Amino acid sequence: MAVQAVSPRGAGIATEAAADAGWQASLGQQLRRQWRRLQARLRSTWQPVTVALLAPPHVPGDAAAIDVALDAFDAWAAEHEGVSLAVQLSSRWLLCCATPEAANSAQARELAQQQWAHYFGLEAEQLSAEWQTVDVLHSGARAAAQGDVKLVCAVPRALIDGLKDVARERGLQLQAAMPWWAEGLQAALAADAAALPAPTQPEGSTRAWAWAEPGLLTQVQAEVREGRWVLTRWWSELASGLSSEGRAESGPLPETVAALTPPEPGAWVWPLTSVPSLASEQGEAA
């Protein structure tokens, strides 16, 4: 058997060639990954993907619950890198307060903070440091046609910051994070303002809506006050059906109901609008 000697110089050349091949393969993978991200971003530019983010029962702001949700979101994001998306949040993540007496946004937030301090012990300093407060519905040009509508919600800063971090790491374009029922509430109020003009309704007339998600029912009530539809109440309770028996709050039964239903038991994150996954794109590319 012949033995072929390999010089140190020859070994060096072979090593350099292998290194060059490995570098080229790595560069190719990076370029393909960036191209898939760009394709996904272009597809979702005009119609962002809407993603639901559920929550387990927990004390408001609980760090462990937030970590579990962010892990689930990261796992989903890993399969959908590059998309533009809006996140719809479970009511379990939120503190919300209807503030019909507020004259402006600042007063609405002050009234909401007072309620949250009463029920959850959240003082102004802690609320500012640990929660992000937003006007979900407020007075303005759009609200004027619907009545004097004001609803303030707060979401843990740790959750919002975590969503932003995942989006940045995965190349996602996070357009918004909002209560999952917010758009439905806006639509319901607008429809009722047109179909049931407040000036034609008796003073004190009410309308109610409900949104169901696994284990939880979110309810909203509006009332006619001085010829206007005014959002007067927001609350959530453990889901036990919509019958009047056993309801934690009195008032009219909800007249419109929507549901947030996971595609499979135990799902935490899923798209409400279709989006191709990175895995399927890799399969097509192969």
Interatomic CA distance for residues 90 and 181, integer angstroms = 9
pLDDT of residue 198: 81
Nearest-angstrom CA–CA distance, 86 and 47:
10
Which tens digits make up the pLDDT trace of 218-251? 999 999 888 888 889 999 998 765 544 434 445 5
Token match 């060639």: residue?
A: 17
Distance CA 286, CA 283 (A): 5
Owner of token pair 């374009």: 173
Q: Give the pLDDT of residue 226.
A: 84
**Tell me: the pLDDT tens digits for 151-197?**
999 999 999 999 999 999 999 999 999 999 998 988 888 887 778 88
**13-65 pLDDT, tens digit each:** 556 655 555 555 555 555 555 545 445 444 445 578 999 999 999 999 999 99
Q: How far apart are CA 176 and CA 245, in angstroms?
A: 37
Whole-structure pTM value: 0.76
Residues in the chain: 286
d(CA 171, CA 40): 10
pLDDT attached to residue 22: 59
Dihedrals phi, psi of 218, to nearest 5 degrees: -105, 130
For the segment 260-285, what is each residue's pLDDT rounded down to a tens digit?
A: 999 998 899 999 887 655 544 444 44
Which tokens belong to 82? 């590059």
State pLDDT tens for residues 92-139: 999 999 999 888 888 899 999 999 999 999 999 999 999 999 888 755
